Structure 1
């Protein structure tokens, strides 16, 4: 950060805490701020295309703090309040941008989807087709190169770094296994087997690139995997 003593005389004053939270200074609003003023999260949610430039900076500030906290404390040890404190913002602003701790993790780690939101939608479908539904959703994510890349990066790191492995393990437990148990009472061992089956196939397909698995069509793989996944997930 630039030393205030070295700034040009024409430079505007440093942003106030409210500006940091995505809210303009009182002088730009033309009114005096009162005790009942809305916090930055509410103001950010109400503004249209003319939102202040500080909004993006604040979001990145939160994500940077989240990455450090997840790396240091793991997924379980991190909290929205702790991330907000490290970023110097109100916890309500973190919730406004990301919704939940899983949402912060997904954004901070550039994960392509939030399984905490996706999985319940998959598991509340036709009970007799859970295996097929899970295979199709999973395949759709992995067949997209842009979505596949960050997942593979995380898996590779987790295979060689214990801290990364713990972080991934805790996130998968919270976002996938616990939610699967909540939605359909699927025992963790069965859900782990289903996820392991899918990840193993995708690694063989996209990393090791073993034929004919590597060149099989997604529909062929769904047809192959669905019965086994159904056995794991069905009643």
Structure 2
């Protein structure tokens, strides 16, 4: 009879650190879409179930391994729940709350490292764009999601990574007011009434 216990897996306490380091190397080398959970597990010498246990998902692993607290899988999941009408506001709130929490020093670090910037671009163009397209549905969902990621990426760049003063000083409420119409037009192909 097998003795299976619940709770934290036994073993080396450095497992999470090994996974994080392996993931960082692979994400920086192959980008977000080119890195699989299985490849990270193999490089770290662990079972892929431990990645789910420690990080929740590939997106969580990406965020933590590159210290990109601004890429929080639960925040994206939350933004993609609810009605379509308020999606733009939820996405803008998600971006501002995550990036504001990261702080200027961490945001500058992202820009200084070309490999981290590439990985972030891969995430925006891959995971974020695909998840938004999936939520929107319809024949032109990918085109609309691409436009939406362009607006969100522009906000991230001009507010956090290479701030333009007039955008950087906006309150989160003003961000929603200023960027909301453009994001709604991107998501819906027109500004909804």
Instruction: Give SS of 1:196's match.
Output: helix
Instruction: Give SS of 2:32's match.
Output: helix
| Residue 2 of structure 2 is aligned to residue 36 of structure 1 | yes
Greater shift in the superposed pair: 58-67 or 77-86: 77-86
**Cα contact 2:128–2:149 (8 A) shared by 1:** no
Aligned to 2:136: 184
Alpha-carbon RMSD across the aligned residues, in angstroms, is: 3.0
Q: Residues of 2 paired with 1:172 and 1:207: CA distance?
A: 14
The one of 123, 130, 140 aligned to 2:97: 140
Q: Residues of 2 paired with 1:201 and 1:68: CA distance?
A: 28
Q: Residues of 1 paired with 2:32 and 2:160: CA distance?
A: 27
Structure of greater Rg: 1
| TM-score of the two chains, using structure 1 as the length reference | 0.65
| Residue 162 of structure 2 is aligned to residue 201 of structure 1 | no
In the TM superposition, 1:58-69 aligns within 5 A as 58-69=15-26
Aligned to 2:125: 173
Taking a change above 3 Å as real, the CA distance of residues 81 and 150 of structure 1, as seen in their structure-2 partners, is same
**Cα contact 2:144–2:188 (8 A) shared by 1:** no
Q: Deviations over 1:91-135 (max 9, x none)?
A: 222222123222221111112144544334213323222222222
Aligned to 1:75: 32
**Cα contact 1:63–1:107 (8 A) shared by 2:** yes
Q: Residues of 2 paired with 1:164 and 1:209: CA distance?
A: 18
**Cα contact 1:74–1:167 (8 A) shared by 2:** yes
**Cα contact 1:65–1:83 (8 A) shared by 2:** yes
Q: Residues of 1 paired with 2:19 and 2:130: CA distance?
A: 26
Taking a change above 3 Å as real, the CA distance of residues 91 and 139 of structure 1, as seen in their structure-2 partners, is closer
Aligned length: 187
Taking a change above 3 Å as real, the CA distance of residues 210 and 83 of structure 1, as seen in their structure-2 partners, is closer
